[in-house]
Chain A
C-alpha cells in the first residue's frame, strides 16, 4: 500500500493542485471507489469549494493564484470526508480551521471529525437509506402479544391527545414511542388496522 507520498512542502497553480490531488487521492479513498473517474477533482470544482468556504482562498503571486500544501491537505481531506458520507454543509468552514497535522490525521482516519451537529452515526445511516438504489427494505414491528388486562392495583396515568374530532389517543408514561421511520410506519399501520376493525364492527 505505498502509492504516491504526500509532499513535505509544496506550492503550485490551480492546475497543478488538481493534478496532484488526483494522483494522491486514490490511496485515501476506499479501494472499491479509487478507480472511479467521478471521484476526480478539476480546477472548476476546486474554485467552487473555495467560494463555498470549504477551502481557504489561494495566495496571490502577481496575478496568479498560488496554492500550498495546506490547500492540498484541505482538498484531500474534504474529498475523503465527503466520500465517507459527510455532507458539504456539515464540513462548511470546518476544514479551514484545522492545522496541517490535524488535516493529515483526518485524512488517514487517525482522527475523526468531532465537530458534528446532531448524531453523525444516525445522519450517516439516513444517507445510506436515501442512497439505496433498490426499493427500501420492508421493516415491520414484531406483532405485539395480545393485550392482557392490566393489574388493577395501581391506576395507570395516561395523557390524552386529540387527533381529530371524536378521535383521542391515550398515551401512558411507559409507552415506547416510535423513533425510526420503520417504527413510525408500523405504528401508523397498526392505528389504521385498529380503526378498520372498528369500521367492520356493526
Chain B
C-alpha cells in the first residue's frame, strides 16, 4: 500500500491515455490492426518501465544507472511507439 497514490496516478494516466487514443482514432475513423496495438502497447509498457526505473534508481542514489537505464529502456520504447504510429499513419495516408 506504500505506493498506492503513485500507482493510482499512473493508472489514471494510463486510462486517460488509452481513452484519448481510442477516441482520437475513432474520431478520425482510423483502423488499427492487432499487431500495431501490440507494438504500441509494448512500447508504452517499456516507457512506463523506463520512467519507473529512472525514478527508482534516483531514489537509490544511482544517477548513472538512472540515466543509462532511461536511455536503454526508454529509447526502444519510443522507437516502438513511433513504429506503431507510423504504421497507422501511413496506412491512413494510403487510403
A binds B: no
Q: A residues engaging B (CB < 8 A)?
A: none
> Which residues does B use to contact A, with CB under 8 Å?
none
